[in-house]
Amino acid sequence: MILHVDMDAFYASVEERDRPELVGQPVIVGGTPEGRGVVAAANYVARQYGIHSAMPAVTARRLCPQAICLPPRMRYYAEVSKQIQEIFQRFTPIIEPLSLDEAFLDVSGSEALFGSAAVIGRRIKAEIRRELRLVAEAT
């Protein structure tokens, strides 16, 4: 059985976790509206304004002038991604990362130890939430 794990609005969620004053505000991580660049991530508040990944930053600013635009901290996000990968390793060594915030996990050989794929997915989500204070989807 293969699980797909995807972090919710990863870069923006990491920023909200580290800076609680951002919670409830529209947060965009990516290029600045004053320069060239695109939205790398938008939290769910920003998405309510129609902002999405890969959108030009100037368009995002036009849709939501009050948005908080943050530069990406890729090295830091990579460190957080490693922490997520360490949680995956507890359940299976067979991991195919797609990006910093998304991976496929082959849990076929893990079901005897941990339960069904659905149970493993719920456990992974719970451990990520408890240890890293981030939200993941596992399907």
Q: Which amino acids are annotated catalytic?
A: 102
Phi and psi for 83 in degrees, rounded to 5?
Answer: -65, -40
According to DSSP, residue 102 is labeled E
Largest CA distance in the chain: 54
* Contact predicate 11/41, CB 8 Å: yes
Q: Match 């957080």 to its residue by tokens.
A: 80
The two structure tokens encoding residue 45: 């508040």
Tell me how far apart the alpha carbons of residues 32 and 69 are, in angstroms, rounded to a whole number: 7
